Amino acid sequence: MMMRSKMRGLSMWGWLFVVLVVFSVITLAGRLAPYYFDHMTMVSLLDGVTVAEAKMSKREIRELLEKRFKVNNIRGWDVEDIIDVDRSREGTTIVLEYEVREPIVANVTALLHFREQREFK
């Protein structure tokens, strides 16, 4: 019979805890990753706005971005709510800001807040 001091490894409860933590991380990543991918796409579309396009009217800028969102399969967002266009003497500022609430388990909810700003002079 081996002595306890020479036994190594995890017990059944230790392995169960490790599996639970790994499963939780994978589940959380699977639920939140699509929002980060959509955000990266939105930022690349915002970066694609040229200085000439930024000089268009606010309505035209929103329509332009809404069309680009649809082409890139970004749906479920009202561009009027998440895009803010500010004009000043220095130029145009386009702000993309929105929040996502994703239920995780029971009454636990993840809140993701995204904000990007681009200035055109």
5 domain residue, yes or no:
no
pTM, full prediction = 0.81
pLDDT of amino acid 11: 87
Give the residue-averaged pLDDT of 74-99.
Answer: 94
* Closest C-alpha to 93, from 83, 81, 101: 83
Residues 6+ positions from 75 with CB-CB distance below 8 Å: 69
1 domain residue, yes or no:
no
CA dist., res. 55 & res. 41, Å (int)? 23
Check whether 16 has a pLDDT greater than 80.
yes
44 domain residue, yes or no:
yes
Please give the C-alpha separations between residue 10 and each of 5, 15, 16, 18, 25, in angstroms, as whole numbers.
14, 6, 9, 10, 20
- Domain of 103? 11-120
3 domain residue, yes or no:
no
45 domain residue, yes or no:
yes
56 domain residue, yes or no:
yes
Contact 31, 102 (CB under 8 A): yes
62 domain residue, yes or no:
yes
Domain count across the chain = 1
pLDDT of amino acid 91: 93
Contact 61, 54 (CB under 8 A): yes
Give the residue-averaged pLDDT of 47-57.
Answer: 94
Check whether 2 has a pLDDT greater than 70.
no
**pLDDT-based confidence at residue 4 (cuts at 50, 70, 90):** low
Residues 6+ positions from 88 with CB-CB distance below 8 Å: none
Give the residue-averaged pLDDT of 62-89.
Answer: 93
6 domain residue, yes or no:
no
How many CB atoms lie under 10 A from the CB of residue 112?
A: 13
